[in-house]
């Protein structure tokens, strides 16, 4: 295969071609201020990302902001710090296109994960009143599911707040959690002793 280039004299350089530059001079000889600007920008974006959590943003706004700031930071790091903005398109394409295939994998796994989740709800008796009521009295009583009516248990108290389960003695949960049943591959399969907490779908924010 022969090189398909336009044989033009250097003076007649068109906009479609690059100007000739010796390799050494080209290497990273950009004004240092551009790195300082991007550096500052990364700090700003990180602060914004942190504030999303600090101000307890929830739902779609939370996810879009998290993803947006993440992608912006990634773009700046790859383009400026890793010099990609100045590389030839052949290298850019060879490096950045394969990870796009990962987006396909991500989509497929999201689809499957969601299916597995609904499958578990459909076929395992989870979070039903029957299930909770049948928990033996000797075991530590189940904690109140978020938003659902309080189960039979006397503990915990009137504050059936979502944070209450976590605020309680972790030692209570440790014995239950340490049971082998929690380790099984189909780890969600409940047994009579296995205390179920409010199912947390990722969609509940």
Partner 1 sequence: MSGVTPSTTGALALRPKGVRGVFADWGSDQRSFKSASWGKAMMWIFLVSDTFVFSCFLISYMTVRLSTTVEWPHPSEIFALEFNGKKIPLILIAIMTFDLITSSGTMAMAVNYGYARKRRAAALLMLATAFFGAVFVGMQAFEWTKLIHEGVRPWTNPFGAAQFGSCFFMITGFHGFHVSMGVLFLLFIARNVWRGDYDYPEKRGFFTGRKGRYEIIEIMGLYWHFVDLIWVFIFALFYLW
If one asks whether residue 129 binds partner 1 (CB under 8 A), the answer comes out as no
If one asks whether residue 193 binds partner 1 (CB under 8 A), the answer comes out as no
Give φ, ψ of 113 to 5 degrees: -60, -40
Alpha-carbon distance of 68 to 169, in angstroms, equals: 37
Residue closer to partner 1 by CB (options 65, 153) is 65
If one asks whether residue 35 binds partner 1 (CB under 8 A), the answer comes out as yes
**Interface positions, 80-109, toward partner 1 (CB under 8 A):** 80-83, 86-91, 93-95, 98-99, 102, 105-106, 109
| Binding flags for partner 1, 140-169, as an x/- string (CB under 8 A) | --------------------------x---
Residue closer to partner 1 by CB (options 27, 157) is 27
User: Total residues at the site for partner 1 (CB under 8 A)?
Assistant: 94
The span of 129-137, 148-156, 195-203 binding partner 1 (CB under 8 A) equals: 195-203
Alpha-carbon distance of 39 to 33, in angstroms, equals: 10
Alpha-carbon distance of 149 to 46, in angstroms, equals: 40
If one asks whether residue 183 binds partner 1 (CB under 8 A), the answer comes out as yes
Joined tokens for residue 25: 């001079």
| Among residues 123, 136, 147, 170, the one that binds partner 1 under rule CB under 8 A | 170
Select from 172, 177, 171 the least CA-distant residue to 155: 172
Alpha-carbon distance of 99 to 104, in angstroms, equals: 9
Cβ atoms 127, 199 nearer than 8 A: yes
Cβ atoms 201, 145 nearer than 8 A: no
If one asks whether residue 59 binds partner 1 (CB under 8 A), the answer comes out as no
């Amino acid at each position: 295969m022969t090189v398909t280039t336009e044989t033009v004299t250097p003076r007649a350089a068109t906009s479609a071609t690059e100007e000739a530059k010796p390799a050494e001079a080209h290497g990273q000889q950009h004004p240092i201020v551009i790195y300082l600007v991007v550096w500052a920008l990364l700090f700003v974006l990180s602060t914004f990302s942190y504030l999303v959590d600090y101000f307890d943003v929830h739902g779609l706004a939370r996810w879009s902001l998290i993803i947006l700031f993440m992608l912006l930071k990634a773009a700046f790091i790859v383009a400026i710090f890793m010099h990609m903005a100045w590389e030839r398109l052949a290298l850019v394409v060879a490096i950045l296109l394969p990870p796009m295939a990962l987006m396909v994998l991500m989509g497929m796994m999201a689809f499957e994960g969601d299916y597995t989740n609904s499958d578990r709800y459909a076929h395992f008796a989870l979070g039903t009143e029957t299930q909770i009521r049948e928990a033996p009295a000797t075991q530590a009583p189940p904690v109140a599911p978020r938003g659902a009516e309080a189960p039979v248990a006397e503990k915990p108290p009137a504050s059936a707040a979502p944070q209450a389960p976590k605020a309680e003695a972790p030692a209570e949960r440790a014995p239950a959690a340490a049971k082998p049943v929690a380790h099984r591959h189909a780890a969600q399969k409940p047994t009579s002793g296995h205390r179920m907490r409010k199912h947390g779908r990722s969609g509940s924010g």
